[in-house]
């Protein structure tokens, strides 16, 4: 059974702080996925575009040797695709760990510290509206 990943945040005695920490965690998740999607839309598409001539070979004779050949002679494309896959897998693993095991105490402390820093800086902080203001 999967437990609530944000349960350690709910243990916080200050309800407003816990609510703001939840919002900051949500912003963090959205930011990580945005970076992964942006990487696929830029680096990933450019890498795939550079491999378009190899796709014809792969359509006729799809073998792992043909894939290795295509990636070996297009190292920038290989690095670009590896970067996109790596980013996606890292976000998936991070979010899966949070869902299955909950947020670690260290991460809860980091969220709390960030929320307090946002409060201290005030409305000039870029995350002020997304974390401090009540959703409408």
Q: Are 104 and 7 in contact (CB under 8 A)?
A: no
Alpha-carbon torsion, ordered 63, 65, 69, 75, to 10 deg: 100
Inter-axis angle of helices 105-121 and 15-39, nearest 10: 100
* Residue 136 pLDDT: 57
Q: Are 79 and 50 in contact (CB under 8 A)?
A: no
Q: Are 27 and 131 in contact (CB under 8 A)?
A: yes
DSSP per position, 86-115: HHHHHHHHHHHHHHHH---HHHHHHHHHHH
Q: Determine which helix (DSSP H) or strand (DSSP E) holds 41, and give its type and residue range.
A: none
* Residue 3 pLDDT: 61
- pLDDT (tens digit, 0 to 9) for every residue of the chain, 136 residues total? 456 777 777 666 788 898 999 999 999 999 999 999 999 999 999 999 999 988 888 888 888 888 888 889 999 999 999 999 999 999 999 999 999 998 989 999 999 999 999 999 988 999 999 998 766 5
């Amino acid at each position: 059974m999967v437990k609530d990943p944000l349960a350690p945040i709910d243990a916080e005695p200050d309800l407003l702080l816990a609510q703001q920490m939840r919002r900051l965690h949500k912003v963090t998740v959205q930011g990580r996925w945005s970076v992964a999607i942006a990487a696929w839309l830029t680096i990933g598409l450019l890498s795939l575009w550079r491999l378009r001539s190899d796709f014809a070979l792969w359509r006729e004779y799809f073998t792992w040797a043909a894939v290795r050949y295509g990636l070996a002679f297009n190292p920038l494309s290989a690095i670009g695709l590896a970067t996109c896959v790596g980013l996606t897998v890292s976000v998936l693993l991070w979010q899966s760990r949070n869902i299955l095991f909950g947020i670690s105490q260290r991460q809860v402390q980091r969220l709390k510290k960030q929320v307090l820093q946002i409060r201290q800086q005030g409305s000039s902080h870029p995350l002020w509206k997304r974390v401090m203001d009540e959703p409408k």
